[in-house]
Each structure stands twice: as C-alpha cells, then as structure tokens.
Amino acid sequence: MPPMKHDRETGLTYWRSLDELAQTPEFQEAVQREFPGDDWDQLPPATRRQFLKVMGASLAMAGLTACRWPKEEIVPFAHRPEGRTPGVPEHFATSMELGGAALGMVVTSFDGRPIKAEGNRLHPDSLGALTAIAQADILQLYDPDRSRRLLLREGGQQYVKGWSDFEAAAAEHFAGDGTGVAVLAGSSSSPTRAMVRDRFLEAHPNAGWYEYEPISRDNEREGTRLVFGRAFRVHPKLDEAGVVACFDADPLFDHPSSLRLAREFAAARHPESGIGARLYVAESSYSLTGVRADHRVAVPSSRVPVVLARVAHLLVAEHHIELPAAAAGYAGEAGQEISENEVHFAELLAADLAKFRGGGAILVGPRQEPAVHALAAVLNQVLDSTVGYTTDPDPDRPSHIEAIGELAAAMASGSVQTLLVLGGNPAYDAPADLRFGELLAKVPLSIHLSLYDDETSQRCIWHLPRAHGLEVWGDGAAWDGTLTMRQPLIAPLYDGRTATEVVAFAAGSKPTSGYELVRENLRSSAPAADFEGFWRRALHDGTVEGTAWDAVQPRLNPGRLAVAVDGLRALLDAGLPSADRPEVVVTADSRIWDGRFANNGWLQELPDALTKVTWDNALLMSPATARELEITDGEIAAVESGGVTVEVPTFVLPGQARSSMTLALGYGRSAAGQVGNGVGADAYQLRTARAPHVVSGATVRGTGRSYHLATTQDHFAIDTAGFKERNRRVGELVREAPLNAYLANPEVFHEHEHHPPLISLWKDQEYEGEQWGMAIDLNTCIGCNACVVACQAENNIPVVGREQVLNQREMQWIRIDRYFKTEPGLGSAEIDNADVVFQPMTCVHCENAPCEQVCPVAATQHTTDGLNAMVYNRCVGTRYCSNNCPLKVRRFNFFNYHKDPADTTKMQFNPEVTVRARGVMEKCTFCVQRIEAVRIGARNDNRPIADGEILPACAQTCPTKAITFGNLNDPKSSVSKLREEKRSYATLAELNIRPRAHYLGRLSNRADGAGPQGHGTPHGEAESHGKETA
Amino acid sequence: MNEDKSNDIFIFPKWTGVLRPAVAIGALGGLLYATVVVAFGFSPLATDVGYAPVQPVPYSHALHVGQLGMDCRYCHTGVEEAANALIPPSQTCMNCHKAVRANSEKLIPVFESYSTGMPVEWIRVHDLPDYVYFNHSAHVRRGVGCVSCHGRIDTMEVVSQQKPLSMGWCLECHRKPEQHLRPVEFVFQLDWVPEEDQLALGTRLRETHDINPPQDCNTCHR
C-alpha cells in the first residue's frame, strides 16, 4: 500500500493507479522515461567477440542482398471454384458456442484461410458486434499446441493411434444397454446434439448423461423454478428501462446477450433520445456495469441479498407496493445489520423503482444464490419490469454442479465402467472437493475428446482430438432460442471430430458426419417443399429469422414461495465477512473465461478491464482490507480455505467491497500449452460443490514475498503539464458531467479550456477530397476490450509476452485507459471507493502532429486524406516520434516479435497489412487497408464513398457503437454531426495538435438529491473562469 | 626509475607506422566501393528489366494474343475486378486444349494438373516487393493500358519484364498520368496508338474522368 498522505498535494481528479495518486518515485520515473525497459545496465553484457560476430554476420547478409530476391512461384487452382476470385476475401456466417448459447459471427476468409471474426448483424445476440473472447477464438484454431492425434495411455506408456483404432477398441463398450456407461458433456444449445443425445440414450437406456459447465447461469434458472414452479430463462431488456438495478450482475459484459444489452443500454443513455436507464449497482467487485453505474455500493457478495431485501422492504413499507401474500415474508426483514451507505442506496433505488413502475429492471448476477434470484423475480413481477421470460430449453436437467456431483458419486462407487468426456476439462475445473482427477483412475475406460491434450486427457486412457468450431458443421441457439448455423471455414487441420460426431458413433447410429446430422435435424423444422433453398438461406444468413422461443408470462407459484423465503432468510442471517474471515469470490476471468482460452496469447496479453493486469490473475482486495491485513500491493497472499492453500499476488483495487476478495478462475494450468502453462494461480482449488461462487470464512495472509504483476495501468501515462495546475487550467483528458447539468448548460464540457491562442508554426494543409476523422463516445464506451482484440486481429499485432509487458512494450494499438476518479483533497475512505472511467486511446491522427515534426527520415507523414501515415520501410527506429507523441500511442518493435511463426500461426495473418519487423515504429492507421479497399471499389464504380461504408475494425466490433468513423469534409456524415455536438472535445487541445479523433463527454444520470459524491460537478472551481483566450 | 607505465597500452607501438599507407588505401578503396555500389544500385541493370524466366510450359503470348487475337481477360479474369490479374487455372487452358493439340508434349504439365488437381507452378515475372499493395482494377478501369507496364506482350514468345517496376517509375506516372491514359475501351488493345498527340489526349481524359492518382505513401504501402 503506498502512503496516502500526499493525495491532498497532488490534487488529482483522475488517476491511473494508487501509485500515481501518491506520486511514488516509481510512477514518476515511469512517466519521465519514455522507454523504461531501455536500461543498458540490465542488458546482458555483450563481449567484444559477440560484437564482431554480429557485425560479421551483417556484412555477410549485406552481400547476399545484392542478388535478386528469390524466385517466386504462382500456383493457380487447377479447377478454380465458381465465383471465387483468388486474393479477394470472402465472408461466411457461422457461430461460436460458449456456455450453452451460440453467438453468430461472420468470418473473413482469405484464399481459404479464416483470418478474422466479426459479428453477424442478423444474429440477435451479436447485432454486428463480437466479444473479445469470440474474436480471439480464431487464434485457437491456428494454435500450434492443439492436439494433432489420438493418444492411448496404457501402463505408463503413450501410443499414437488413429480413429479406426479407437473405433475398434471402443465398439464393444458401446454395444450393450449402456450399463456402466456415462457421458460427461458440456452445455450445448445445439438442436442436432440434442437429437444425437436422444439417439444415444435410446440405444443405451441405462447410460448416464451428465452436463457440466464451470461457469453458468444455473442459479438464475433455479431461482425461477423457486417462484414459478418450473425453470425459465430470463431476458432483460434495457432500452425501455428508466431504471436498472444490478445486484452482483454484469449485464453489459458477463451475459450471453451482453452485446445486445450493451447496445440497448447505450441507446437508453443517449442524452436526447434515450429514456435514461439510471443504473444502480450493488456488487462486491467492480464489473463493467458497475463502472457505468450512477449509484454504486461496494457490498460483499454475501451481503448483497441484504441490500436487495432492504429494497423490497422499502418498496412495501414506503412505496406501498403490494407483494403477493405468499411472498410477504420477503418484505418483513429490515432488522439486519446494514451500513448507512447501503440504506441510502436502497432508499434511492426503491424510490426510483416505484417511480418507474413498468419501466424498471432488477437483475441479479449468476453468483448469487437461487433465493436471491427468486426475490428479484418476485419484485420484477410485481413492478411489471422490462424483464421477459421464455421456457428453459431443457427444464428437467439438474444443475451443472449437481450433475457433476452425481457423476463423481457414481465414479467413486465404481459403477462407471466407461466414461466419455466430450470437451471440457473436469480434472481441472470440476469442484475441487469432488477430486475428479483422482476418480478418473477408477474408471477402466475413460475417453476425452478435447482441443488440447490437457489435464483431463492426461488422466484418461484415450485422448481424441476435437475439431475447432471453425472447422465443423453444426448449429446452436441464441440465448433467445434463435436458430444459429455453423459452417466450416476450413477443413479440420488435425483430423479432429466434434462432440456430436463422437456421440453419434457411440450411439451406433448412422449417419455420423456432422454435415449430414445437421441437415437431418434441420429437415424436421424446415418447410418440406424447398429444403435446399431453406438450407442455403440459413447458411447464408447464419440464423433463421423468427425461430426465437415464444415469450411466456409466468405466474408466481404460491406453494413454492415459502421455500424461497426461507432460503433467503438463511442468507440474510449469514455473518458479515471480516478481514480475519473474508469472503473470496471466485469468478470467470474477463479474458480466458473458465480457463479454456488459457493458451490464447491475444487474451492472455489483453489487459483486464479494471486491473489492467496481463498474463496473470490476482487477488483483488480493497485498500482498507489490505491495510487491515497489512498486505501490500503486489505481495503474494496465501489464501487458505478447507485445508487448501493457494498463493496468489495481491492487487489492491479501489472500489472493491471491504473484506471481500475476488479471484479469477482459469489460471494455474499445467497442461494448457506453451502460452498458458503456469500462468497465474489456480482458483479452482478453492471451489467446492457447496460453495462454487463465494468461499466464505477463508483466511488470507501476506507471505512477505512480492511479485511483479504485469499491469499496464501506469504504462503510456500522459504527462499533462503540471499535475497541480492541470485541474484548474486545462481540460481533462476525460470529461464528464451530470445529465441535467449538461442539458442546462451544454458548454459544460468546455469550461476549462484555458490556453493562449493556438498558432501553428507550420502552414496548414488544404484538403479537397475526403478527410477522415473519428468520434469516440465516452458516454457509451463500456471498456469491454472488444476493439483491442479486433485491432490486434486485423492489423497483425504481435503478442510480446509477460516480460516485455513489464517493460512497457505491449504492442496493442488501442489501449483502454482506466482512470480512477475522486474529488481532489479527499481522504482514504473516498479513495477506497473511487469511481472509474474508461477512455479508449489510440492514434488520434493529429492535424498538427508532433511525431511528424521530429522524424528525421520522414517515415511518418500526412496524407492528402488527412491520415497520419506510418511508412515502415523508411523507419530507422530513432523513436523520436514516440518521445514527442503527447498521447503515447506509438508502439515500437523492440524485437522481431513475429520471427519464425509456426506454419499455422502464419495462416491467421491479414495479407492486406504488412507484418512489421524489428526496429520499426507502428501505430493505429485508421485501418488504412479498409479505407483503400473501399476507395478503390467506389472509384471503380464511379460513385462517392457512402457514409459508414468504411468501418475500421474497432468501430465495426464495438457493441455500443461508441466509435464512429467517416469523412469530416462532408457536413452530413455522421462523424461530422457528432463533432458538432456540444459534448465533443479534443484531448490536449491546448497543445494545438488538432486531433482528428474527438471524444464525446460522458454523462451521469444520478437521482435528484443524491448529493455530489463521486460523480458530481465536472472539475475544478468556478473562480478560475473568465480568462479564456481561445 | 619507476615511471608509471600503465598508460602505455593506449599508445600505438612504433612498428604500426608501416600500416599508415594501408589506412589511406582503405579509405580510398571504401570511397570507390561506395561509388560503385550506389551507381550500380541506381542503374537499370539492377532493376531486372529483361528478366525472362523459363516457364514450366512454353506458353506463347505471341501465338495466343498476337496471332489468335485472344483477349487478355479470357485468362486474366481478375484484372478489372480485383487486385490480382490472376493466372488462369489449368481448367481455362483445357477449354481449348481438350481438342486442340491434345497430344502435345509441351502441354503435359497442364494435362497432369488438370487430371490430378495439383497446380502448374508458373514463375512470377513481374514481382513487386511484398510491402507493395498494387491493384490492377484501379489502373485498368481508369484507362491505363496493359502495355504501359507490361510492354507488347502480344509479340513475346517468352514473357519478359519490360519496365523497371521501381518506386520512382511508379511515381513518374502517378505524377503525370496523362502520358499513359487512353480511352478505357482500348486498355486491352496492346497495339493501339492514339490518333492525336498522347499528351493532349491524356490531359483531356484526365480532366473528364477526374483522375488524380494519389502520391501518398499509404496508397501502396500499408
């Protein structure tokens, strides 16, 4: 913990880290040194002999280059497929399945190689956007660590086998009535898989079928069962909501429909056309929804039910909302220990829920117990909320935790003779107390189908290579049930098969090929007259319109409510966690999910939205708890629960609930692959079947050892002139205002622009044709990182590894700056609960670009359409440009990060973008390759470029459409219109850099009478006005 | 006498004096070397003009285009639509050669490719560096004739590189496109010559079609 005594002196409103707030020497050095890793003392000593060797080698190379470059061959098709023009990218609609819901996407294929995934506009959960994880999945396809063959492990030996060997060996085990046979599958929305499963169970009636997902929304499902009598699926709707209350819920990020919900939320928050969607969040750790909240309280997860119960109580007692008789018990409780803050929060929320009756929504997160979901469902029902329901697609299945428990019991009793594990990785991710990995040894024939030869495969007799989602035929259902197609973009690279195909084999039925199975299943729901037409249409669109499940109007089931009320009462009486007995919340990781993406370099290197940590998970705790436990930031903490100890570095995060710690799952893998092995600590060891989400009563202590987390929070810090002065004289980088202040005075975002007249030393360039510009709306940006991965995939940006990130050498062209916000001069209590804002930062293509003025070789130049272009071939690597860049958006190739890529890794590269070598500077190009492609096409057709026709990768994938790109020379273009808005401002305008990317100010929508805490007046004091000169 | 001799290691010993002329020779030689390298580097000899590799099939453009009068686009189908002009698939050859010269030994690689599905491995003649993103359609649709860059292909038994394909050569035309513009209907007619002065015609075409070739770096480099 850095000391807090300096915060009055620095007087910062926005700060990147506790280090910056305290102005520690480490932070100051980081800001002052442009290239922190550039420490000559730390380089291995180079001897004279090495030097001569290197020089000799370069001379030899210089000699070679004088010859003609290698002879190049052209290998045309022998028979070119009809309609295919080699070199012209094609797009195919397909889908990806994660946790039992399919997400539609459109994949770009270049000469038969899929290179980039984007969202499918026609898909209800995508709407054209795609999550960071779904975009990064394509890297998994080309992962050189993927399993390439069947393995048989027997008597300590390992044999390479073929599919026919497996089929011959397994046939007799799948011959009988299924006694002793068990199948453990992941959750799937695929109707074809359901069909094949039924066939399997028909053929083997005594076989057991179990479904397990480590991360699921089962608690929500059980909650609906508690109040309605049967399982329903919950569908929030945010664009019609005047008030949204989230209890440990993160609808904007951690939801199968998060992309749709984020789009709806952004629409609701539009200052002119939106309905408002005032957001209340009570949660234990910052979620992306929590960052966007107007009112937020940090409450330990085990105390979240208390706040919700208080809201229910207030609704009944103060706002005269009537609960059904059977649910009356919910409102009776008001006696629990509850803090003033929480009461205040509950009062404001209850008043708003009563006011927006019929236009509110209460959402509860998947880690809360079913009884809490039940209470939310009752309140939503009574308040007539904007929450819809459909019947659950498989209402009779047990919860995932129950299912894996039953299977483990069966395995322990020795009744399982043959176990077929379809995907998943239960030896790693099953609840630790089940000891699933050890139980596998008791099964005589265990078979694991998996993308990698992972922890589970290594404990099974047979390992079968699984085909990647982009290699196979399949189908699935969106969260709302819309039929979603999947088609292969490439033939299986390593002869893998899908779960469906393996089950079809085990069922002994025909056909067993994915293509035929999918078509057969679709035939049952397609119009008989024109099946081929229907099939082609479905594949073309990727979805079939109008196949969403019908919405249902469930009724409260009075008989069951009593059970729910009792369940809730038990939760309310649970003790408050303390520093001695804190709760540890284990949750899905924002990047590698449950661990299945651990070997994905893009995701490992993606900075977490809140901590900005890469290549690790960390134990998040609040500054107050860290002080109480005397643990410092970065110290390795030992978390002990139920006899298991996990050692993990600490990250002190403001906004974390007191005595509540958060630890992400998915790390500490031992058989993930070269990228993911040994990264982070394994939180699954703390997870038990009884407490899969919140481990209460753990003990946490410091070990005294420290660890350097590769966090990027202080990287590329923008050093604005004089910390103390900046609040008063120049506009902030991030600008915010309350909605009503903005409506009353639209100039509120420009009040602090005080600078001398801006006169340029250089003659202005004149523009005739297009002039590209961008607008980034901070009001709708939710910090989800989708743009960062989109940019990485589109522009061949390398992954550099943890050590390089520690040296501030990460290469992503977009970074999402996360600032904490407190009013200057406040004490530690406010710092502990600091607000958070996000600002995506990339090259803003300054009109008066400081980088261009210092390049000695003119490697960075202005083009006639206003881009700040980077010419890699001219760059000699002086790095002056990066030194002179005030926004710190340039990235330097310190090494040849793309040297000798695996054959498969190369296949992912975008051929339209140069792969940069060592010693070259690079940065955002506004996706110049996309601009050129559209421009050439438009010129060929003799037409102007339409507004919105050019979409840079970041703007294309943004779920909230926060990024708008277009022609500034056209006053009717959407980007020009956004620039006209009063919320639009330029960062560092006082430097006269005249950026082409402008930002739109962020608005908060706090309840009246809520006081200025957190989001309040924009910045500084009114007396400093009146000296405006420009 | 205990003079401090520790500094002596920094003083050249006397015998090194004989090497002095060698330094002078080295310096002069270096200058000469640099001159030769630069002069050669800028000479047309270094630009591969005249490069004419032996192809797996001795395909004659002089025969097919010059004598038989086939259109460029019969084989190079991408030229008006895409970045690549495209080398035809073996299928295209076989459209005629199933019947014409169906027993020719010279065509064996094509027959083999057609029956096995494996490609004929042609040698690239006009090879731009990988960091150059050239687009055929952008040029052909504006009225830059094939002949401007490729020469009289219709007279070549063996295709050879006619122009330097250097950046300076590209920019020459991007700065003064009127030297090479022609009505789009004559783009593929290799022996077409303007009836009037090329510069006058080019200037007129440039104005009517609003042709302003960009000279920005990112036009070709991304």
Same domain, A160 and A275: no
Q: Which among A78, A861, A928 has CB closest to B91?
A: A78
Same domain, A926 and A783: yes
Question: Quick one: pLDDT band at residue A556, thresholds 50, 70, 90?
Answer: confident
Q: Do B218 and A867 touch (CB under 8 A)?
A: yes
> Do the domain assignments include residue A911?
yes
> Do the domain assignments include residue A537?
no
Closest C-alpha to A110, from A796, A935, A604: A796
**Considering its fold, how many domains does chain A have in total?**
4
Whole-angstrom distance between the N-terminal and C-terminal Cα of chain B?
72
CB of B198 closer than 8 Å to CB of B177: no
Q: Which among B86, B116, B123 has CB closest to A71?
A: B123
Q: Which residue of A has its CA nearest to B77?
A: A85
Q: What is the pLDDT of residue A273?
A: 87
Q: For an interface test with B, which of A795, A940, A942 has the most B Cβ atoms less than 10 Å from its Cβ? A: A940
Total count of residues recorded for chain B: 222
Sequence-ordered strand ranges (E) for A471-541: 474-477, 483-486
Question: Quick one: pLDDT band at residue A485, thresholds 50, 70, 90?
Answer: very high
Would you kindly state where each structural domain of chain B is located, as residue ranges? 19-48, 61-86+126-219, 88-121
Q: Token pair of B96, please?
A: 């005629």
Q: What is the pLDDT of residue B189?
A: 93
CATH number (domain holding residue A375): 3.40.228.10
CB of A269 closer than 8 Å to CB of A1005: yes
CATH number (domain holding residue A704): 2.40.40.20
Buried b / exposed e along A909-938 (16+ C-beta atoms within 10 A) = bbbbbbbbeebbbbbbbbbbbbbbbebbbe
Answer with the one of A356, A391, A426 that is the final residue of a domain: A391
pLDDT digits (tens, 9 = 90+) for A903-937: 888 999 999 999 999 999 999 999 999 999 999 99
Same domain, A321 and A466: no
This model of the complex carries an ipTM of 0.85
CB of A805 closer than 8 Å to CB of A613: no
Alpha helices in A35-90 (DSSP H): 48-64
Answer with the one of A391, A412, A438 that is the final residue of a domain: A391
Chain B residues lying within 8 Å of A77, measured CB to CB: 89-91, 119
Q: For an interface test with B, which of A67, A69, A74, A914 has the most B Cβ atoms less than 10 Å from its Cβ? A: A74
Residue ranges of chain B whose CB lies within 8 Å of a chain A CB: 48, 51, 53, 77-78, 81-84, 86-91, 113-114, 116-124, 127, 129-131, 133, 135, 137-138, 141-142, 214-219, 221-222
Same domain, A729 and A845: yes
Question: Quick one: pLDDT band at residue A953, thresholds 50, 70, 90?
Answer: very high
Between A376 and A512, the higher pLDDT residue: A376
Q: Which residues contact A651 (CB under 8 A, 6 or more apart)?
A: A611, A613, A618, A619, A620, A621, A633, A634, A709, A711
Distance from CA of A601 to the nearest CA of B (A): 24
Span of A66-75, A179-188, A702-711, B117-126 with lowest mean pLDDT: A66-75
Q: Which residue of A has its CA nearest to B51?
A: A68
Q: Token pair of A164, please?
A: 């026919």
Q: Do A74 and B48 touch (CB under 8 A)?
A: no
Contact pairs from chain A to chain B, CB under 8 Å? 118
> Do the domain assignments include residue A882?
yes
Chain B residues lying within 8 Å of A913, measured CB to CB: 222
Could you count the other beta carbons within 10 Å of the beta carbon of residue A980?
9
Sequence-ordered strand ranges (E) for A588-742: 613-614, 619-621, 635-641, 644-652, 660-664, 694-695, 699-706, 710-711, 736-738
Question: Quick one: pLDDT band at residue A768, thresholds 50, 70, 90?
Answer: confident
> Do the domain assignments include residue A40?
no
Distance from CA of B69 to the nearest CA of A (A): 23
Please give the mean pLDDT across all residues of chain A. Answer: 87
Q: Do B83 and A873 touch (CB under 8 A)?
A: no
Q: Do B124 and A73 touch (CB under 8 A)?
A: yes
Using the 8-state DSSP alphabet, how is residue A40 labeled?
G
> Do the domain assignments include residue A871?
yes
Q: Which among A71, A78, A936 has CB closest to B117?
A: A78
Residues facing A298 on adjacent strands? A283
Q: Which residues contact A145 (CB under 8 A, 6 or more apart)?
A: A452, A599, A672, A673, A674, A675
Q: What is the pLDDT of residue A53?
A: 57
Closest C-alpha to A180, from A496, A556, A442: A442
Same domain, A594 and A457: no
Q: Do B90 and A76 touch (CB under 8 A)?
A: yes
Question: Can you give the pLDDT of all 222 residues of chain B as single tens digits?
Answer: 556 676 777 788 888 888 888 889 999 999 999 988 887 776 666 677 888 899 999 999 999 999 999 999 999 999 999 999 999 999 999 999 999 998 899 999 999 999 999 999 999 999 988 899 999 999 999 999 999 999 999 999 999 999 988 888 999 999 999 999 999 999 999 999 999 999 999 999 999 999 999 999 999 998
Q: For an interface test with B, which of A59, A69, A85 has the most B Cβ atoms less than 10 Å from its Cβ? A: A85
Q: Token pair of A694, please?
A: 């919140």
Closest C-alpha to A1017, from A746, A801, A823, A728: A823
> Do the domain assignments include residue A211?
yes
Q: Which residue of B has its CA nearest to A917?
A: B131
Same domain, A211 and A222: no
Measured distance CA(A607)–CA(A593) in Å, rounded: 14
Helix axes A218-228, A558-572, angle to 10 degrees: 130
Measured distance CA(A372)–CA(A645) in Å, rounded: 30
Same domain, A937 and A797: yes
Same domain, A230 and A377: yes
Measured distance CA(A419)–CA(A460) in Å, rounded: 9
Q: Strand, coil or helix: what is A992?
A: coil
Q: Which residues contact B11 (CB under 8 A, 6 or more apart)?
A: none
Q: What is the pLDDT of residue A1013?
A: 44
pLDDT digits (tens, 9 = 90+) for A521-551: 998 887 778 899 999 999 999 999 989 999 9
Question: Quick one: pLDDT band at residue A597, thresholds 50, 70, 90?
Answer: very high
Distance from CA of B168 to the nearest CA of A (A): 15
Q: For an interface test with A, which of B187, B218, B219, B221 has the most A Cβ atoms less than 10 Å from its Cβ? A: B218
Chain A residues lying within 8 Å of B122, measured CB to CB: 73-76
The range of the structural domain enclosing residue A977 comes to 723-1015
pLDDT digits (tens, 9 = 90+) for A127-161: 999 999 999 999 999 999 999 999 999 888 999 99
Q: For an interface test with A, which of B74, B217, B220, B221 has the most A Cβ atoms less than 10 Å from its Cβ? A: B217
Taking CA atoms, A495 is separated from A146, A148, A162, A466, A468, in Å, by 11, 7, 10, 8, 10
Q: Token pair of A312, please?
A: 């229910």
Distance from CA of A552 to the nearest CA of B (A): 51
Dihedral angle at the C-alpha atoms of A906, A907, A909, A914, nearest 10 degrees?
60
